A and B are shown apart, each in its own frame.
Chain A
Amino acid sequence: MNIVVCVKHVPDATANRTFRASDNTVDRAGVDGLLSELDEYAVEEALKIAEAGDGEVTVLTMGPEPATDAIRKSLQMGAHKGVHVSDDAIHGSDAIATSLVLAAALKRLEYDLVLCGMASTDGVMGLVPAMLAERLGIPALTYAVEVSIDGDRVTVRRDSDTAVETVVAPLPAVVSVTDQINEPRYPSFKGIMAAKKKPVETWTLADLDVDASQVGLDAAGTAVTSYQARPPRSSGTVISDEGDGGVQLVDFLAAQKFV
């Protein structure tokens, strides 16, 4: 079974992230990048499925040169090979263009199952998995908290506020997974050493027959028009209890519409 995991290299969410003043795109240079935390769950799930049967896991990413770190981390966790789509024209691409490029790359790969994280930790749109499935003409099963493979069918569980859904689809299919699905493994030293020898291919837009005018900032359907830094956290409200503390607390919560 061939599993392709789509991953993204993102600025560390715990660092001080910002945009580039020149074109309002995410500043990827000023902050350390890493494999999106939400994509680690997709890699882990792919590895579990592959280990349970006889599977091969390919990691696919799109992004500038440092994005290869996201592939390497996935390979260190245990994925078998990587594909990096890197092209200057990609800079500033939105979800629509991202799905176009990833779909074009997937068409050149063999896959029975495409796994994605539920969203990236930088853009946090969560649209790419569904767009990807649409472009590939295969089913999309999103926000899975459980995935099982039975022959040529995939079954997922989705938890919502109102219901637990069990969804079945024929393979191949695109499945996005949430952070509830598993506990991603840490790469072992053995894994780190083994990753050095695993193959990583780098493809350009030309390799994929994608017209550069369809991607990038100019082709994007969405744009960041302005941004400002989050205001510093205020010190909060301190209520001192002089016999009416309970009433004051309720008044505060009511004013904030918590009760």
Chain B
Amino acid sequence: MTAGLSREHEEFRAVVREFAVAEITPYIAEWDKKHYFPVEVVHKMGDLGLFGLTAPEGYGGAGADFTSLCVAIEEIGRVDQALGITLEAAVGLGINPILTFGNDEQKSQWLPDLVAGRTLAGFGLTEPGSGSDAGATRTRAELRAGEWIVNGAKQFITNSGSAITSVVVVTAKTGERADGRAEISAILVPNGTPGFLVEPAYDKLGWHCSDTHPLTFTDVRVPADHLLGERGRGFSQFLATLDDGRVAIAALAVGCIQACLDMSVEYAGQRTSFGVPIGAKQGVAFQISDLAVMAEAARALTYKAAAIKDAGAPAKVFRQAAAVAKLYATESAVTATRIATQVFGGYGFMEEYPVARFYRDAKILEIGEGTSEVQRILIARGLGLPVE
């Protein structure tokens, strides 16, 4: 039992675990090797209701709390991190911006299929020359004769080029404010719009089963009503969803640590050297004890942050809890994969064992949805320090 989780959360955890072990575990090594994005698993995750956990029932969702989504991400991530991030991004970056900022028509058009896992949506913010620096956005959108004309490029966009991607929300410069700063707006660009080109998927260190592409836009025309939310609020709208994403990534990291712990305990009990299981050696056993502490601590911080959000606490309180959970859980995950690989010795370096896949997958956790450095800045600011 995890503090703060109800009996229903724990029962749901058991279901997602059963699902992941049955539907993902047997195939994941092969998919990872082939960099294959398993659309059929996305549909099955949809049937299980994972994409719609926090969406209102009117759009086919469960109207459940944020904690339940974290449970799902943790348990999928415990079996495979790439499918964990697929779920996290599908909800946090695909569904949530449309749900939060879309008008009724946009919501009715896109959400039912996204919530059911029949389609996916991406969020195009990062560019070759800009990430968190909104002012540097080079993608432009001009409103002419009732149409937005979009030109530019985006990179590292998750779920943007799969066979079932229906739409990508793109941030673009739509003008200049009175103070001379860039006016950034968000625009819905449906898949297949002429001029919208999905470039071949990246060759990544890890997350091989996650769908990530560079996108280019050349005179892409969409109707004026494809503006998502308020004109000029594109970036601040995005920022509003970041704290949720941090906790969700922390949940993914908890799944990674737990996987390292499970694999290490099993292996250290089986593998013998000098006539005894390696788990009998303090040098091994103590490191595995550390994994257990990391799993417990990261999980506690993650679900504390989720509970703060579910309780509707002030944004400032949630932001601090989210940054703390994200920083600790993701750095622990990277450490955990290093320890687990060490426990496995030479086999840990072989792709034959899943521990190698987790080792490759973990590093990005310290980077995506705000690097560890960004989290430290946020925490320091939360403490009232005049950090730059």
Contact = CB atoms under 8 A, between A and B. Distances in A.
Interface in A91-123: none
A188 B11 contact: no
B8 A188 contact: no
A189 B49 contact: yes
Contacts of A188: 48-49, 62
Nearest to A190: B62
B19 interface: yes
Contacts of B12: 187, 189, 192
B11 A76 contact: yes
A190 B57 CA distance: 9
A196 B11 CA distance: 12
Contacts of A191: 49
Contacts of A189: 8, 12, 49, 53, 62, 64, 68, 72
Contact of A193 (B8, B15, B47, B48): B8
B11 A190 contact: no
Contacts of A192: 8, 11-12, 15
B176 interface: no
Contacts, number: 35
Contacts of A185: 47
A186 B62 contact: no
A100 B68 CA distance: 42
Contacts of B63: 190
A249 B8 CA distance: 53
Given A185-B47, A186-B48, A193 B64 contact: yes
Given A186-B18, A187-B15, A189-B68, A196 B49 contact: no
Interface in A33-84: 76
A68 to B, nearest CB: 13
Contacts of B53: 189
B8 A196 contact: yes
Contact of B64 (A186, A190, A196): A190
Contacts of A76: 11
Nearest to A187: B15
A18 B111 CA distance: 50
B40 to A, nearest CB: 13
Contacts of B15: 186-187, 192
Interface string B11-25: 110010011000000
Contact of A190 (B18, B49, B72): B49
Interface in A182-233: 185-193, 196
A187 B72 CA distance: 13
Contacts of B8: 189, 192-193, 196
Contacts of A187: 11-12, 15
Contacts of B47: 185-186
A47 to B, nearest CB: 13
A187 B11 CA distance: 9
Contacts of A193: 8, 62, 64
A186 B19 CA distance: 7
A151 B12 CA distance: 37
A76 B12 CA distance: 10
Contacts of A196: 8
A185 B18 CA distance: 11
Most B CB within 10 A of own CB, among A185, A187, A189, A196 = A189
A254 B290 CA distance: 53
A185 B23 CA distance: 12
A76 B68 CA distance: 16
A187 B62 CA distance: 12
Contacts of A186: 15, 18-19, 47-48
B385 to A, nearest CB: 40
B24 to A, nearest CB: 13
A191 B68 CA distance: 13
A22 B126 CA distance: 68
Interface string B25-55: 0000000000000000000000111000100
Contacts of B19: 186
A196 B6 CA distance: 12
Most A CB within 10 A of own CB, among B11, B19, B68 = B11
A196 B9 CA distance: 13
A211 to B, nearest CB: 37
Nearest to B71: A189
B90 to A, nearest CB: 16
Contacts of B57: 190
A196 B8 CA distance: 9
A190 B61 CA distance: 8
Nearest to B11: A192
A51 to B, nearest CB: 14
Interface string A163-187: 0000000000000000000000111
Nearest to A76: B11
B115 to A, nearest CB: 11
A203 to B, nearest CB: 25
Nearest to B64: A189
A90 to B, nearest CB: 26
A196 B19 CA distance: 22
A185 B49 CA distance: 11
Nearest to A185: B47
Nearest to B60: A190
A188 B47 CA distance: 8
Nearest to A191: B49
Nearest to A193: B8
B241 to A, nearest CB: 21
A204 B53 CA distance: 39
Given A189-B49, A189-B62, A193-B8, 4 more contacts: A188-B49, A188-B62, A190-B63, A192-B15
Interface of A: 76, 185-193, 196
The 7 closest A-B pairs by CB, nearest first: A188-B49, A190-B62, A189-B12, A192-B8, A189-B62, A189-B64, A186-B19
5 contacts: A186-B48, A187-B12, A188-B48, A189-B53, A190-B63
